[in-house]
Amino acid sequence: MCGIVGWMNYEENLSYQTKVIDLMNKQHANRGPDSEGTWIGEHVALGHRRLSVMDPENGLQPMVKQFGNQQMVVTYNGELYNMVDLRMELESLGYCFTTHCDTELLPAAYQEWGVDAPKRMNGIFAFAIWDEFAQELYIARDRIGVKPLFYAHVKDTFVFGSEIKSLLQHPDIGSVIDDHGLAEVLMMGPARTPGEGVFRDIKELKPGHWLKVSRQGIQTHPYWQLVSRAHEDDFETTITKVTDLFEASVRRQLISDVPIGTMLSGGLDSSAISAVAAKVFREEGKGRLTTFSIDYQDNDQFFEQNEFQPNADSPWAQLMAEFLQSDHHVVYLNNQELVDHIPSALIARDFPGMADIDSSLMLFSREIKKDLTVCLSGECADEVFGGYPWFHREEMVQANIFPWACLTNERIPFIRKDVQDRIQPMEYVEMRYQQTLEEVPRCDQDSPREDRMKELFYMNLTRWMPTLLDRKDRMSMAYGLEVRVPFCDHHLVEYVWNIPWEMKAHNGREKGLLRHALKGILPDEIIERKKSPYPKTHHPLYLQAMQRKVNELLLDKQAPIWDFLDYQVVQRFVGQDLKQKHLPWFGQLMNVPALLAYWLQFNQWLVHFQVQYR
């Protein structure tokens, strides 16, 4: 993948403003380690950092294309999986191309179809096209939001970038948060409301949207949305279509001119992707598939089964590797590495995140990058097919709150009373929850039960899944590793969205329909394995390290965190025997150690980004 940035100002000549765009572009050095480039016109400056995946010898960006008297300049982060078909269609319309990379297709598609161009694209992308003749900037993001894009408009200045840190390098954009931004971090985080950039002037371009900047102003519009309709296929037809859509997605996403492999945990999702990938490798004579799994030193000694994590991954990953006869690598991490890289994970993510769950993925990506440039991952099957516990526990299904954050109210006592009065924490969460429900596409033929399950799936697809995709993008791109997610293919997502819950939960199992669809593709043991999330450390030294670091933070009463958290409440909490404390405050994995780490990241965020609250 890559990193993109841009700056527009109709009232200023940017021709000599190279320092600002270079500084913005520099923030994406990890995203694009292979080359860099800028293009500067009178009113626009574009930047690009490249990670070469297709046609490494060509495709330097920003790329300039001429169509008659129209000049288009594009900066692009992504992959088009239907590149061959799109190229053929455009060639049939009279367009000529000089490279074999997908970048060159974007300005031609925009020239031909205008703002509807992304509808023709199957892939993961965020791109910007400057139309020199019309003096307009067009930006678009992929349907699911796999690739990030943020923007800000302050007075006459418009800037955009793949990561927020690039926007903050512009002198007109400050690291200021208001009450809404603070509520996002303290109550919604590590999730983030779609469209919100947390910092006061920064917004996120929502998935499936385009944005156009012209002298008439800024216009945004969705080009893709989920549509609810009656599902008319019987069970066997549904199974066939799901199998075909899934296999087609994996096959498309294996295109690459650089080494490619898979992440393999031994769970249903990564095993399914690896099985199809290994099949394709055999068909095409590419040899053995390279697979990677992650584990932690001493986890065999300290692993503890709990309600969310029923078993360890290692034996299952090994079983699948043997089944596939893959070239398998196990990456072992230790607790000190996890602790040491939590600050780096925050900087990569731009916000307090999932602590050791982030840093472990960052370190995992670092090791994979030594052998591969592109990797396929099993993210998003749980959101698409209904794999999480909150799809199957009635009290969680009916909870009037985001199900991965049922203990949100447990955060409030840690927040200073004066801050609570300003941000109104539970009112803010309730407002965001109701906002989500209002967006759900309804179907008149759905029963009340089916309608509620649609609400739950919509919450997961648009609020929870972006948290994981954001994590995957930042942690992998911190080491220049491109990760693709076949379960996010929009054809698959659109079809499965309308499959009724009773089919999705076939045999009363999480992802029951997907399990049935994978019979004959995976070993029965893998198909029947109970869902287990991304592996984490269970070593008691990790909790001790987090407790020690928060106690050190308590020694500094001038630390900026105490402007927002209640010093005494935190002090009392950390003084307990936390080994006996159970507080799954976010998702399946974030318990007490992760809460302590989140506070540490929050303080680091305030310091590193010099955050001002007003």
Q: Is 101 a catalytic residue?
A: no
Nearest Cα to 162, choosing from 462, 482, 608, 602? 482
CA distances from residue 591 to 22, 278, 356, 430, 470 in whole angstroms, order as listed:
41, 36, 11, 23, 20
Give the single-character DSSP code of 602.
H
- Extract the tokens encoding 338: 């996890």
Query: Nearest 10 degrees: CA dihedral of 112, 116, 121, 126?
Result: 110
Q: Give CA–CA dist 595/445, Å, rounded.
A: 42
Nearest Cα to 549, choosing from 358, 335, 242, 389? 335
- Extract the tokens encoding 447: 């029963």
- Extract the tokens encoding 276: 């199809």
CA distances from residue 190 to 154, 165, 469 in whole angstroms, order as listed:
27, 17, 12
CA distances from residue 504 to 273, 307, 450, 516 in whole angstroms, order as listed:
19, 22, 11, 10
- Active-site residue among 2, 101, 380, 488? 2
203 three-class SS: strand
Amino acid letter, 534: Y
CB atoms within 10 A of CB 227: 10
DSSP annotation string for 66-119? EETTEEEEEEEEEEETTHHHHHHHHHHTT---SSSSGGGHHHHHHHHHGGGGGG
Active site residues: 2
